[in-house]
Structure 1
Amino acid sequence: MGRSGPAACGQTVAYGLAVGVALAATVQAAKADPLQDPYGTWTLQAENDAVSTLKGTSDQYYTSGLRFGWTSGTNNQPPAISNLNSFIWGPGTQRIAIGLQQLIFTPRQTQVSQPAPGDRPYAGVLLATVNLISDTDVTRSVAGIQAGVLGSYAGGYQVQNGFHSLISDTPNRGWSHQLPNQPILEIDAGRTWRLPLITRYGISADVLPEVSGEAGDFRTYAQIGGTVRIGQGLDSDFGTPRITPGLDGTDAYKATRPFVWYAFAGADGQAVAYDATLQGSTFRSGEPHVSKIWDVGEFEGGAAVLWHGFRLSYTQTWQTNEFQNSKALFNFGSVALSAKF
């Protein structure tokens, strides 16, 4: 039977004060500036269904992602960019990140010249990206824009079958049926929180809740998820990078000890309103398409190390069905190497 009267009231007040103090402490911590970092960061990242701790799926669905990017040091942007970052996110330690990325999508059956109805269409996407990053001690906020092209101008056929020729592998035969060219324009935004959990014997654990989303004529979706990490030097970054969608800690980091390491596991859910690589061009009808599934889940795990200005990370991702009749728990791996100069 529950308590009533002054004792219960006192407990309620005490609990409310404790919550208020905790929230005040969090707000105060968020106002503190993180460590400054004068060096830019260069990153090369590859995601592939054959780069996997599990048996590779050999060119299926999201089969390849390549990304090259540069992230600035802290607080050295031109005034116009700095003012825009402050307008979007408020006070924080600022960076700007620019990059170029290519994504390749294929059906499950790649050795037929006419892709089967109901299978994922062939598609290539080439995007230039610009992101504004704002950090506090406990948050990382990102807002940006992506512009490029979907279709043959993205070079998916040339990259995939050119690589197959280089390694004497069989070319994929259905690229003549890839989605036609269309321009791409996207906006994106997200925030990650870094919340310490426990430290024992020099080993720490934390959790990284995240919300993000994109809108445009490539993908429109909202995402929520989180990552749990265990290791040393967890305050050096906000998790490992991903070619979105997915839980993305970005390329920005600043090592807080000579050798940083951590292992992690996470999950996210995406509410997908639109995906041009599944549903076909924004401007045309009658082209290859499949029926998308609006709710997509991902599970991931991996590890990262930071040493002498370098960061190397590996992420294994398992993904639920993106469209009707697709294979469940499709998996792919992601490798990212960053260096500061």
Structure 2
Amino acid sequence: MPPMPKFPNTKTCMLGIAALLAANPVQADETQTGFCDPAEKGITALARHPEIYNIHFENDLFNGTDEGYTNGVKLSWVSANLKDYIHDPCLPVWVRRLNRMFESLHRAGYKSRNMVVTFGQSMYTPLNKIRTDVIPDDRPYAGWLYLGLGYNERNARQMDTVQVNLGMIGPASMAKQTQDFIHDLRDIPRFNGWGNQLHNEPGIQIIVERKKKVWNSATGSWPQFDAITHYGGSLGNVATYLNTGFELRAGNRLPNDFGTSPIRSAGDSNAPLEDPNLRRFSSGGVHAFISADARLVAHDIFLDGNTFAASHSVNKELVVGNIAVGAAWQWHGGQITYAHYISSKEFTTQTTNPGYGAITLSLEY
């Protein structure tokens, strides 16, 4: 019996798809040495270094409710450390050319940097699932399907993040179909008012955020503690706001990152390490955390309604916030996190404080 053929591993196959899109000759100015050397240039070389794959799931089922921000799913890929975003031969040529378009957003003065690619969907519903008409004093039905490109740059104490999200709001987001499928699968009654959801509208969101480790205990102590602050903002027809907050962590062997990784924009904090061969999840450990975020909101399309067409809307609160408590378990090669969020009221006629649970699975290989 002839020997079975050998197939490439899953990671190489996934990255190889992007390599096919990059089948263009490399420009002379794009062949500077980087972390890939002396390995073969290209995305197969990038695959030789540890990368992070995150799976995020958020749902108000964990809060015993089914309304407001009712579900969110996000997949994200966090690259190994890069020489830079334009010349590093690890990146496909088309990615380097795309990054050149956003060169003004890249920060200087950091030795460690990586890219983050995200794909996600979020959905919002009112409290009453039976009514088929517009409910004037409750939030609109809405969905958001998006693709994001982010840049993380850091040193030991600070990380700067810039992220650009592009996508669709409205029926094109497939939020109704996704919710109907899950509700049918779990034998839960469907929401009847999706015919009133926000209209189709292209969405863009540019997010800038800085995270800073303002305190951490001695490395060899038990338990370990650290405190991380963040501040930044978002600009775009999806959301325009300023935000700030903090996170406190306590446990053993705290990961070398900048906090929890919720679906919140700029939340992928699996920070790059200076040595591309080092692993972020190199040892086991458990830690607990508490975090908070406050926003001054100028625009929120999921409450203010469509930008270019008449649609259902409600009067939003200008200042909103949330707090979260949770725990994370880390092992060699991965981490799983659970956090429970309680938010302030987001619009003036909202009757309850919304809440939801968030699970994040991070795998490194």
TM over 0.5: yes
- The CA deviation at 1:233 is 2.3
Corresponding residue of 1:30? none
Displaced runs of 4+ in structure 1, greater than 6 A?
Answer: none
Shift of 1:258: 1.7
Flag structure 2 segments of 5+ consecutive residues without an equivalent: 1-47, 88-95, 273-278
2:181 is aligned to 162
Q: Is the 8 A contact 1:191 1:211 kept in 2?
A: yes
Mark the runs of 5 or more structure 1 residues left unpaired by the alignment.
1-36
The reply on whether 1:45 has 2:69 as its aligned counterpart is no
Deviation at 1:251, TM superposition (A): 3.7
CA contact (8 A) 1:115 1:174 kept: yes
Q: Secondary structure at the match of 1:88?
A: coil
> 1:98 aligned to 2:105?
no
User: How many angstroms apart in 2 are the aligned matches of 1:243 and 1:62?
Assistant: 12
| Structure 2 match to 1:303 | 327
Cα displacement string for residues 268-302 of structure 1 (whole angstroms, at most 9, x for unaligned residues): 210000001101111112x1110010100111111
TM-score normalized with structure 1 length:
0.82
**What TM-score does the superposition give when structure 2 sets the normalisation length?**
0.77
Say whether 1:219 aligns with 2:239.
Answer: yes
Mapped partners of 1:49, 1:260: distance in 2: 28
CA deviation profile, 1:127-174 (whole Å, cap 9, x unmatched): 100000101001111002110110000000000011111111111100
For the residues of structure 2 that align with 1:38 and 1:134, how far apart are their CA atoms? 17
The 1-side partners of 2:361 and 2:231 are apart by 25
Query: Cα deviations across residues 171-223 of structure 1 (Å, max 9, x unaligned)?
Result: 11000110100000111110111133434852111100100211100000110
Contact persistence 1:237–1:249 (CA under 8 A): no
Cross-structure match for 1:113: 132
**Which of 267, 271, 278 does residue 303 from structure 2 map onto?**
278
Tell me the alpha carbon deviations over residues 297-323 of structure 1, each in whole angstroms, 9 at most, x when there is no partner: 111111112212111111111100110
Deviations 1:84-114 (A, max 9, x none): 3884243230100001010000001111111
Identity among equivalent positions (%) equals 26
For 2:290 and 2:362, how far apart are their aligned partners in 1?
Answer: 21
Aligned residues: 299
The 5-angstrom pairing of residues 149-298 of structure 1 reads 149-199=168-218, 201-244=221-264, 248-252=267-271, 254-255=279-280, 258-285=283-310, 287-298=311-322
Q: What RMSD, in angstroms, separates the aligned Cα atoms of the two structures? A: 2.1
* Distance in structure 1 (CA, Å) of the matches to 2:332 and 2:282: 10
